[in-house]
Amino acid sequence: MAGVIGRALDLVFPPQTLDGSDGAQSVGLSAEAWARIQFISEPCCDGCGAPFEFDIGERCTLCQARPKAFARARAACLYDEASRDLILKLKHADRTELSGLFVNWITRAAADLLAEADAIVPVPLHRWRLLSRRYNQAAEIARPLARRCGAAYLPGALVRARHTASQGGKSGSGRRRNVAGAFEAPDTRQVEGRRILLIDDVLTTGATAEACAKALLKAGARAVDLAVLARVREAAPTAI
């Protein structure tokens, strides 16, 4: 009995780190799992959230060459083996308690974007996938995030206009073609004139987030920013 209570309490009251600084961030994570997560902090690219080894200015060369449809982006950590294990738990198992941890991470990484956001919109799942997976992992993060920062939560602002094949294994241009026009913002009153913060779990080429941002801008959003849990180190095509 004591063991069961101990484990349950671990999820609510995180183990303290040695320096006591990040205890509240480590809900449900072992010290080893926590140490393996590569968090992204400044300096990073304002346009896509990619980490810089040195402070090389505001935007990376990719963002300078081809500005994204979203204005700015932040990612809490790198998408690697360690973060993937955790994110897959949220994605494919009923581990919604993990969303509280992820909300902490995004709150810290995207503080300046959150401060300016009028509304928060999750990248939608197609309803067929929603049925098979039962919930949308981006929404599991976006909903408590909106509650915490006092922005409007608009889960219905974006809808998938059509079914898209999985983005896994496709090149950057293949991904862009795959999701072009796949999203719509059917009720312009929800988004008109607002600065929207779009939420997704993982950022690879940014094709999905760009298709979402374009739909929101077309519907009259003033600007669209992006916050994700994890991103690949560089915007190269990576199969997930």
Which positions touch Zn ion (CB under 5 A)? Answer: 45, 47-48, 50, 60, 63
- Minimum CB separation from Zn ion for residue 204, in Å? 13
Cα separation of 218 and 63, whole Å? Answer: 21
Nearest residue (CB) to Zn ion, 67 versus 156: 67
Nearest residue (CB) to Zn ion, 50 versus 157: 50
Cα separation of 33 and 20, whole Å? Answer: 17
- Minimum CB separation from Zn ion for residue 14, in Å? 32
Cα separation of 111 and 114, whole Å? Answer: 5
- Minimum CB separation from Zn ion for residue 167, in Å? 19
Nearest residue (CB) to Zn ion, 47 versus 144: 47
Cα separation of 107 and 119, whole Å? Answer: 14
- Minimum CB separation from Zn ion for residue 45, in Å? 3
- Minimum CB separation from Zn ion for residue 173, in Å? 18
A 10 A CB-CB count for 207 gives 25
Nearest residue (CB) to Zn ion, 60 versus 139: 60
Q: Count Cα atoms within 13 angstroms, Cβ side, for 118.
A: 11
* DSSP annotation string for 47-106: TT-PBPSS---SS-HHHHHS--SSS-EEEEEE-SHHHHHHHHHHHHSS-TTHHHHHHHHH
Tokens 């719509």 -> residue: 184
**What is the three-class DSSP state of 7?**
helix
Nearest residue (CB) to Zn ion, 30 versus 61: 61
- Minimum CB separation from Zn ion for residue 56, in Å? 11
Nearest residue (CB) to Zn ion, 73 versus 217: 73
